[in-house]
Amino acid sequence: MTSKHLKLTARILIALIFFVAGVRKWLAFAATSAYFSRLGLPAPEVVTALVILIEVGGSIAVVLGWRLREVAVGMGVFTMATAFVGHPFWSVESEQFAGQLNNFMKNVAITGAFLLLALQGQDPKNTQQS
């Protein structure tokens, strides 16, 4: 497998979780909006639409290598924000602690992957077209 193929494979694997999550949110728009409302987010329907756009659009951009540096940094910021908003392990009941901590740490790890993609995106030769 060439370096070009490995880079594309890595981008697909990193993006897949966001694409699937965004599509699932779109298919369950009302339930997702209700969940965001319970989290205390303002304008939950608007937030739901924005999150779907970020997850689906961002994942497609990552796979295509489009403006990879900027998109990867944005997706990393989004991922860390969702860690703090959606997985507050420090404030949940003990039976939820492990699951929330695992999801929080998953987001931290994915953010690290996005930072690596951002470094790759500094060189136009590192995108899919190389």
pLDDT at 1: 80
Whether 130 has a pLDDT exceeding 80, the answer reads no
Instruction: Give the model confidence (pLDDT) of 49-63 as tens digits.
Output: 999 999 999 999 999
Q: How many Å apart are CA 45 and CA 37, to the nearest integer? A: 9
pLDDT at 129: 45
Instruction: Give the model confidence (pLDDT) of 17-31 as tens digits.
Output: 999 999 999 999 999
What is the average per-residue pLDDT within 91-114?
98
What is this structure's pTM?
0.89
Q: How many domains does the chain have?
A: 1
Domain that holds residue 66: 3-126
Token output for 90: 């420090």
Query: Nearest CA to 36 among 48, 26, 21?
Result: 48
Measure CA 46 to chain center.
18
Token output for 51: 């999150």
